[in-house]
Amino acid sequence: MIYINLNFSERQFPQALGYTISGEQCGLKETFLLQAQLEWESGAKELALIYLHRGIEKYFPDCASFVQMAAGVRADDRKICAKVS
């Protein structure tokens, strides 16, 4: 799991966002959550919701079917989706 400290100054925001974008390019699924969290904390609520919506569509198009899956199946993906829900 990725953790980012959101106690940053205004000039550190672009750097933090750049790091999360780099993480996304490396295939880390959790980065869309971090991007949304960064935008939310900076006051860009609508942009944060857009990041969440796009991330769910991109990484979890079958998110609705997670409810019917047996416990332990795709557990990591299910945990990420649960954080968004």
pLDDT digits (tens, 9 = 90+) for 40-80: 888 889 999 998 888 888 888 887 777 777 777 788 887 87
18 compared with 60, residue with greater pLDDT: 60
Q: Residue holding tokens 């991330």?
A: 55
DSSP string, 37-74: HHHHHTT-HHHHHHHHHHHHHHH-TTGGGGGGSPTTTT
pTM equals 0.61
How is the chain split into domains, by residue range? 26-84
Contact status, residue 58 vs residue 27, Cβ threshold 8 Å: no
